Structure 1
Amino acid sequence: MYTDYHIHTEFSDDSLERMETHIERAMELGMDELCFTDHVDYGIKPDWDEWDKPFEIHEGKYHILNVNYPEYFAKLLRMRRIYQGKMVIKAGLEFGVQSHTIPQYKKLIKQYGSQLDFVLLSIHEVDDTEFWTGDFQKGRTQEEYNMRYYEEMLAVVEKFHDYSVLAHVDLISRYDKAGLYPFEKIKPILTKIFQTAIADGKGIELNTSSTHYKLKDTTPSRDILRLYHDLGGRIITIGSDAHNVKRLAEYVPESMQVLRELGFTEFCTFEKMEPIFHKL
């Protein structure tokens, strides 16, 4: 099974790539299945229908908005009809959840959950401040911003259950200019996070973008992947986090080998929010 379960398209605020371009490339690569996972980040972005201008995407210019849900799900249905028998296409979203935005995601699931196969749960912001800009880290020590990040993740997984897997668990490390924060210091809180997620029937992803970002380890790190495995975690997906077609399925075969080396024997795809296990 050759899949990619973390892909962004023209419906994400940070991508201009069209669904059909990804699908055509996936067919060239001999892939079996794709899951599109466009961005929803309540707290820092308005919804598509809260903007006072038409939702337009064109070369080099796009509005910072959440997914236009009606158009997104309508296009997914069109793609499934056009590529029926050629490519399996799953409907996903990537939720950038914060503890104070949980009610908005619950409302979204109530409205559109029946159309979803898969949901990535990401911690993209804390207290409506971004990591990539450095605003979240500003005024905090390395210990303070790392621990606050994982504390928020724990608070979210304890209260929010409408997701499939935790995406790029150690995302904060990508933007940590102070260097790698020691695994042993975050291991206790990660243990609580994983125990909560596993008991809730949820999983994690191996995000293959670490090479693209020139990180020294996988995302999440091998230590984190090993901890999840040792705690009994079985549900794991593999996704490139591609925002353009050049990165589609990037390093997926290599990442499957990493999982084998760590003792995993299966990975997952999803249908209607239920995991389907495949041999690695």
Structure 2
Amino acid sequence: MLTDYHVHCEFSDDSVYPMEDVVRDAIGLGLEEICFTDHVDYGIKVDWDSGEEIRWRNGEPFANVDYPRYFAKIADLQEKYGDRIRIRRGLELGVQSHTIDAYNRLTEKYPLDFAILSIHQVHDQEFWNGEFQEGRTQGEYNEEYYREMLRVVQSFKHYSVLGHMDLIVRYDKAGVYPFEKVKDLITEILKVVIADGKGIELNTSSVRYGLSDTQPSRDILRLYRELGGRIITLGSDSHRPDHLGAHIASSMELLKELGYEAFCTFENGRPVFHPL
């Protein structure tokens, strides 16, 4: 069974991939189930209906998902293509410790099949442009990244999996920070995740970004399993057609090599296990 549980479309500020095209392409690729997980990043972005001024970046609106249109479109496509593919309602939540209340309100208003919890910013500072890293040593920004993740998972519970758990690696110009130096922090995070009945994601975009390891790393994947973690999803983090479904099958083989026996999809917020 092939699924893609990290899919972006035109409702994300960083994609122009039409939602219906995603569905058609997924069917063509033989995917049996997909979940749309478009971006919400409170702290640096506003909602369309917030009344606040929407910023623009590279000619595109820099805002969160237009929720009513987004969920209505998903419902339309579920009706239109439901005999050929399962389509799930999801979001990718870029949570920070000071924005948790906003995400609690959001997830209460819009029930989801699936929610990815990602740490995209810390203190409203971005990683991709080096803003968060500036003025900090490699050790300081890596450790603060994981400390913020720990603060978030200790307080926010309305999610399904941690997305690309070691995302900071993607933007670390100093190279890969040694796992052993953050292992204790990562262990604390994973223990909370497991105790709460949540999971992690294997994000296959590490291949297209040219990373030297999987995301999260094999060290994290092994640690999660050793600690008793079993809930794991696979997602391409697609933003355009050539990303969709990429490296999902090979990642399933990798999970088997690492000792995993199953991967998950989600329905109404609950994991469904499928043998690898």
- Establish whether residue 29 from structure 1 lines up as the match of residue 29 from structure 2: yes
Match of 1:11 in 2: 11
Quote how far apart the aligned CAs of 1:48 are. Answer: 1.2
Q: Deviations over 1:121-145 (max 9, x none)?
A: 0000000000001000000000000
- Give the 5 Å matches for 1:50-199: 50=50, 61-113=59-111, 116-199=112-195
Q: Deviations over 1:149-184 (max 9, x none)?
A: 000000000000000000000000110001110000
Q: Deviations over 1:30-52 (max 9, x none)?
A: 11001000000000001111366
Q: Deviations over 1:79-136 (max 9, x none)?
A: 01110211100000000000000000001111112xx100000000000000001000
> What is the identity, as a one-letter code, of the residue corresponding to 2:93?
F
Separation in 1 of the partners of 2:82 and 2:237? 24
Match of 2:227 in 1: 231
Separation in 1 of the partners of 2:211 and 2:247? 14
Matched residue of 1:38: which SS? strand
> What is the identity, as a one-letter code, of the residue corresponding to 2:100?
I
Superposition TM-score, scaled by structure 1 size: 0.96
Matched residue of 2:99: which SS? helix
Extract unaligned runs of 5+ from structure 1: none
**Alignment check: 8 A CA contact 1:48 1:55 kept:** no
Matched residue of 2:110: which SS? helix
Quote how far apart the aligned CAs of 1:62 are. Answer: 2.1
> What is the identity, as a one-letter code, of the residue corresponding to 1:74?
A
**Alignment check: 8 A CA contact 2:163 2:201 kept:** yes
- Establish whether residue 254 from structure 1 lines up as the match of residue 241 from structure 2: no
**RMSD (CA atoms):** 1.5
Report the CA distance shift for 1:21/1:27 in structure 2 as closer, same or farther (over 3 A): same
Separation in 1 of the partners of 2:69 and 2:55? 11
Aligned residues: 275
Match of 2:2 in 1: 2
Matched residue of 1:163: which SS? coil
Separation in 2 of the partners of 1:52 and 1:97? 20
**Alignment check: 8 A CA contact 2:7 2:239 kept:** yes
Matched residue of 2:263: which SS? strand
Q: Which runs of 4+ in 1 moved over 2 A?
A: 50-56
> What is the identity, as a one-letter code, of the residue corresponding to 2:43?
G
> What is the identity, as a one-letter code, of the residue corresponding to 1:46?
V
Mean Cα displacement is larger for which, 155-164 or 47-56? 47-56
Extract unaligned runs of 5+ from structure 2: none
How many percent identity over aligned positions? 58
Report the CA distance shift for 1:39/1:256 in structure 2 as closer, same or farther (over 3 A): same
Match of 1:43 in 2: 43
